[in-house]
Structure 1
């Protein structure tokens, strides 16, 4: 294989590919990026047996061919080469010579035959959204995907389609995030996409009206984003019946500015760190919310102006879970619902139902 490519094109491609490459595997080829040169293009592929990504960039191909190169080493070389173009020459013994400007590297490759094939998504349903909408839906929910493997199905987000509406839902036992959007897909369909996959998809999505296609099969899903294709296994199991967990009424209703709430919680959280933890105590009374935090480092208090209707209440929250929800509201004003100190808090937009967050409270100790 002998090719010449634009350095910036190659840098972007290998940087995205490297995140997908398996870091711990008994198959050496999976620690590499598969390069396939043909005609006037170079195809790159990375795969960790659960998540795969491919992309194509323009190339001057003097000799077509295939090779697997160490993802970390090749990416580091590409990023640091000084020239505007990169020349790559791989011989029959899989010895790769990389030249750019005055730099020249010779590294050992792996036979392309050892790289496993990506799964094919067959008999899948095609769901189309704009890039900006899918980006918003993932961004506003992926923060609530479970990190623990206590229930593996919750390490992903549920995509549930019914009657022209798409719900994306994530839960982790302490909070829930749901984002809803009208789509043209009218069938009933649901599947669970791993959080790792969604994080990679999120990095590729742009705030544009360009279409993005999702092909959902029985065991795999494929995302087509610009010139990238992402293929992922789907998670299997019974997802939480989230509709049953959403409170239908609130004894206390609050309207407030999201930026005020974020900044206030951030201030009282200054006394909390990874070693020193304490809940944020929130006291809701007429037109204001007072926040308190007490740790071995000291005490902090703050307050927020708000429109409050209903019962006065006192409730505590984990500061990180509360901040995650507030930061992902992405709107100026939010509507909060409370039904006592031990029931989950709901957070939604002031108008409409585009998103809903639930945050479980923390039981407060009496001072």
Structure 2
């Protein structure tokens, strides 16, 4: 194998592909990047048996071939190379020589035959979604994906398609995020995509109105984003019946400026640390919200104006969960809907129903 390519294009491709490479595996090849010549392009692949990422970059191919190189070492080398171009050659003993400017490296590779084959997606369902919409939907729900393996299916986001609508749902036992958008779709289906996969999709998706097609099979999903292809396994298991968790009605409704609420929570949270945990006490009164918290290092109080109807209510919240919900609304004003001191807080848009966030309250100790 012998080829020459642009260093900047190679660095960008390697940095992205590295994120799908296994950091520690019983299969040595999985800790590397598969590099192959394909026509006049260079093909790169990273795979950790759950998520696979591939891309192609233009190259001047002198001799076709393939090799697997350590992702960490190869990434570190190409990032620091001095020249504008990189020449890569591999001999029959799988020794790779990398030359750029005055720098030259020789590193041992692994035969490409030892690299596991990526799964294929039997194209049972295809969904077309504009880049910008999918990016916004993932961003507004991924914060509520569970980090615990207690119920593996909740470490992903539920995709529901029905009635020309796409809905994304994430839940972690303390909060719930629902986001929906109208799309052209005539299929009723649902599947759960791992949160790790959606984090990578989010990083690769550009902010434009081009359309992305999702190819969904029985066990895998494929995202084609520009020159990158991501293939991921789907999560199996029974997802929470989230409709049953959403309060059907509310007794108190508050219209609040999102930034004002965030700033107030951030101020009062200055006394809360990982070591000094304490619930945030929220008192919802007529046209006013009062926040307070008390920890071993002191006490904080704050208040701000808000338009409310339905009476007064006092509730406790985990400050981080409350902030996550408010920050991900991505709008200037939101409605807070409450139905009791121990019922979830519902955060919805001022107009429409594009998102719904639930935050479970924390039981307050009297006199705190």
Please classify the TM superposition score into its range, dividing by the shorter chain length.
over 0.9
Shift of 1:304: 2.1
Residue 23 of structure 1 aligns to a residue whose secondary structure is coil
Shift of 1:101: 1.5
Instruction: Report the Cα distance in structure 2 between the residues aligned to 1:284 and 1:247, rounded to whole angstroms.
Output: 18
The match for 1:107 is 107
The match for 2:16 is 16
Instruction: Report the Cα distance in structure 2 between the residues aligned to 1:124 and 1:95, rounded to whole angstroms.
Output: 42
RMSD: 0.7
Shift of 1:297: 1.2
Deviations 1:44-91 (A, max 9, x none): 001001100000101011111100000011111111111111111111
Shift of 1:124: 2.1
- Contact 2:286 / 2:311 at 8 angstroms: preserved in 1? no
Instruction: Report the Cα distance in structure 2 between the residues aligned to 1:60 and 1:248, rounded to whole angstroms.
Output: 62
Verify: 1:322 aligned to 2:293, yes or no.
no
In the TM superposition, 1:224-303 aligns within 5 A as 224-303=224-303
Instruction: Report the Cα distance in structure 2 between the residues aligned to 1:8 and 1:257, rounded to whole angstroms.
Output: 44
In the TM superposition, 1:135-146 aligns within 5 A as 135-146=135-146
Instruction: Report the Cα distance in structure 2 between the residues aligned to 1:256 and 1:341, rounded to whole angstroms.
Output: 19
The match for 1:188 is 188
Shift of 1:277: 0.4
Residue 231 of structure 2 aligns to a residue whose secondary structure is strand
Instruction: Report the Cα distance in structure 2 between the residues aligned to 1:301 and 1:84, rounded to whole angstroms.
Output: 57
In the TM superposition, 1:1-367 aligns within 5 A as 1-367=1-367
Instruction: Report the Cα distance in structure 2 between the residues aligned to 1:304 and 1:113, rounded to whole angstroms.
Output: 64
Instruction: Report the Cα distance in structure 1 between the residues aligned to 2:255 and 2:195, rounded to whole angstroms.
Output: 31
Instruction: Report the Cα distance in structure 2 between the residues aligned to 1:150 and 1:121, rounded to whole angstroms.
Output: 28
Shift of 1:38: 2.8
Shift of 1:26: 0.3
Shift of 1:40: 1.3
Moved over 6 A (4+): none
Instruction: Report the Cα distance in structure 2 between the residues aligned to 1:100 and 1:174, rounded to whole angstroms.
Output: 52
Instruction: Report the Cα distance in structure 1 between the residues aligned to 2:100 and 2:311, rounded to whole angstroms.
Output: 69
Q: Number of aligned residue pairs: give it.
A: 367
Residue 138 of structure 1 aligns to a residue whose secondary structure is helix
Residue 37 of structure 1 aligns to a residue whose secondary structure is strand
Q: TM-score, normalised by structure 1?
A: 0.99
Shift of 1:189: 0.4
- Contact 2:253 / 2:335 at 8 angstroms: preserved in 1? yes
Instruction: Report the Cα distance in structure 2 between the residues aligned to 1:123 and 1:200, rounded to whole angstroms.
Output: 22
Instruction: Report the Cα distance in structure 1 between the residues aligned to 2:38 and 2:318, rounded to whole angstroms.
Output: 54
